[in-house]
Chains A and B, each alone.
Chain A
Amino acid sequence: MMWCALLGAFFLQMLLGIPLFVGLVATAFLGVASLGNESLFRVIPQQFFGGMDVFSLLAIPFFLLTGTLMNRAGLTDRLMDFCRLLVGSARGGLGYVNVVGGIILAGVNGSAAADASALGSLLIPAMEKEGFPRAYAAGLTAGSALIGPIIPPSIFMVIYASMTNASIGGLFAAGVVPGFLLGGAFLAMNALWSARYRFPFSDGAAVRARKGEILKRSTGALVAPLLIIGGIVAGVVTPTESGALAAAYCAAVGFFGTRQLTLRGLGEALVETVRLTSAIFLIMGAATSVGWLLKWERVPQTVAAALAGWGLLDTPLLLLLTLSALTFVIGMFMEEVAVLTLLTPIFAPLAARAGIDPLHFGVVMTLNVTIALITPPVGACNYIVAAVGRVPLGELFREIWPFIGVAVGTLLLLILCPPLTTALPRALGL
């Protein structure tokens, strides 16, 4: 009863356009009020603060800053030229450029939103000009952006690790193969669609004529993902340190290499990063206080007892499918950082009890939440590609389902075959 009222109050606040983090905090306050224990009110700001004050979360602003600096230093443009040279001349070539660009950017950017806006603003207009349907170009961009949080670095994985005992390095390594699989799935989809709908060829000759120049110009940009992933995998630096190094590297290349970064541009990049960091952290803090209320009311135990009653804790496969289905439905209606912060403390112990490898579950959970970025009605990537590609949201919502299908298919493959995630971190000893 109390939970129905709280859920109703939360959705009413969302309908009225109240900021998500305020809605979450207010719901936590209402929950405490309904418990009738006044001394508990003070716990909410404590939890709110505690959800933000975690050392490992430091990686988040670093990865955001790196992405912003890549764009401002002109490194993202160079990467796209490189992709065009690599895969641009087949039928539907710009589609492949979009996905391969997504894979490479994923190695630098920690968030899908950053990938969606970088890829979208460069490629959706170009694809449309060559004759791709606009909604397909936007949908594929949203799909490519999903690779971002799976291939390291990943803000979702940093958040997941901060709430569980999983190591960030281990999770990052576990995401590499699934990220390439997801990219491969979108490449295959582009091949099928290109053949079926006769998508256009790009002018490969013009790009190939500039081959030497493009290769030379993009070397500096390709170092950034190698620096991040290599540094972590080799164990020379922690994931957080790799973020700081990559940000410093991009700033240095922007100032002295490409010379496209100015002091003013650096200042704007800092402010942009701070704004995005603040928005993410406030949602995490707010969701942490709601999570505390759920724990206080023993909701995780109730859920666990129900699932155990259905025998799900003895069948890891069914448990993973059930939790994924739940996350999918909740993710349709809620912002992704909030979903991750709310569900991880409830789901991760269940997975551990069922004997599921923590890194495997971490990647499955990350992919679940990532897919929520493109499920209507609430999905950040859809809004971004619709805005940068000037596609009406209604049209995008109709055309996005095949892309969701491809991502869900990849998720099912991972669930059925755990070594896809666990083999690499094991081999590296992470």
Chain B
Amino acid sequence: MTAMADRLQRISRTLERVSAVGAGALLVVNVADVLLGIVCRYVFRISLVWTEEVARYSLVWLALLGAGCAAARGDHMALDFLVPRLPRAPRLVVEVLRLAFVLAVLLALAVLGWKNLAGTWEVKTMALGVPKAALLLALPVGMLLLGLQLFLGALLPPENSERTEGP
């Protein structure tokens, strides 16, 4: 049982790390991209055509990839004042139903988002020539990772104080 919990814990932390490192790296790309645009305009007197596309792609991916990491730290706005005050049994029932509902909504977004990819692999962007699908793919991937993170979080025992303190 505890071995199982340990394994789940490790998967959950790995997911959080992937989400944090991936999205954090995209933010660095984003800042560097915009700074490069300024330098090129004022120092080299040229304007790069691809900076705007890089900025858009990295922004959308960082927002959706970061969702899992935000969930692990409880950053998604929710008004959780009623359920924690319920007695244990009804609380568990509500919590399970609530999780199932949230996962269903995320899955719907992911599946419909995936369907919307159809036909966009051939559409290439103007400056970089990257398929438009590479941009739209962020939605299904982000929602699946977020759902997985929430699911694992619910299976695990409550976070210990060392981790909830945060940086």
A positions within 8 Å CB-CB of B: 14-22, 25-26, 29, 41-42, 44-46, 48-49, 52-53, 55, 57-58, 61-62, 65, 237, 240-241, 244-245, 247-248, 267-268, 270-279, 281-283, 335, 378
Per the bound structure, the CA–CA distance linking A276 and B74 in Å amounts to: 11
Q: Which residue of the partner chain, among A46, A58, A267, A282, contacts B59 with CB atoms under 8 Å?
A: A58
User: How would you classify the secondary structure of chain A's contact residues: helix, strand, loop or mixed?
Assistant: helix
A residues near B128, Cβ cutoff 8 Å: none
Per the bound structure, the CA–CA distance linking A16 and B90 in Å amounts to: 12
A residues near B112, Cβ cutoff 8 Å: 41-42, 44-45
Q: Which residue of the partner chain, among A21, A274, A277, A378, contacts B79 with CB atoms under 8 Å?
A: A378
4 nearest A-B pairs in the assembled complex, by CB-CB distance: A278-B66, A17-B80, A281-B63, A270-B24
Per the bound structure, the CA–CA distance linking A175 and B56 in Å amounts to: 27
Pull 9 A–B residue pairs with CB atoms less than 8 Å apart, ordered by A. A20-B78, A44-B112, A52-B59, A61-B59, A65-B27, A244-B38, A275-B75, A278-B69, A335-B77
Q: In this complex, which of A22, A42, A244, A278 has the most chain B Cβ atoms within 10 angstroms of its Cβ?
A: A278
Q: Is the CB of A16 within 8 A of B116?
A: no
Query: B148 contacts the other chain (Cβ, under 8 Å)?
Result: no
With A41-B112, A55-B55, A270-B24 in contact, do A241 and B76 touch (Cβ < 8 Å)?
no
Give B126 Cβ to nearest chain A Cβ, in Å.
14
B residues near A26, Cβ cutoff 8 Å: 101, 105
A residues near B67, Cβ cutoff 8 Å: 278, 282
Q: Is the CB of B63 within 8 A of A52?
A: yes
Q: Is the CB of B102 within 8 A of A19?
A: yes
Give A38 Cβ to nearest chain B Cβ, in Å.
11
Give A194 Cβ to nearest chain B Cβ, in Å.
35
B residues near A53, Cβ cutoff 8 Å: 56, 59-60, 135
Per the bound structure, the CA–CA distance linking A240 and B30 in Å amounts to: 11
A residues near B77, Cβ cutoff 8 Å: 19-21, 279, 283, 335
Nearest neighbor of A247 in chain B, beta-carbon distance: B31
Per the 8 Å Cβ criterion, residues 77-108 of B in contact with A are 77-83, 94, 98, 101-102, 105-106, 108
Per the bound structure, the CA–CA distance linking A273 and B56 in Å amounts to: 17
Q: Is the CB of B109 within 8 A of A270?
A: no
Q: Is the CB of B109 within 8 A of A61?
A: no
B positions within 8 Å CB-CB of A: 20, 23-24, 26-28, 30-31, 34-35, 37-38, 52, 55-56, 59-60, 62-67, 69-70, 73, 75-83, 94, 98, 101-102, 105-106, 108-109, 112-113, 115-116, 135-136, 138-139, 167
Known: A48-B139, A275-B73. 15 other contacts (CB 8 A): A16-B82, A17-B79, A20-B79, A25-B105, A45-B109, A45-B113, A58-B30, A61-B62, A62-B34, A65-B27, A274-B20, A274-B62, A277-B27, A279-B70, A281-B63
Give B57 Cβ to nearest chain A Cβ, in Å.
9
Q: Is the CB of A282 within 8 A of B76?
A: yes
A residues near B102, Cβ cutoff 8 Å: 18-19, 22
Q: Is the CB of B34 within 8 A of A42?
A: no
Q: Which residue of the partner chain, among A22, A55, A271, contacts B69 with CB atoms under 8 Å?
A: A271
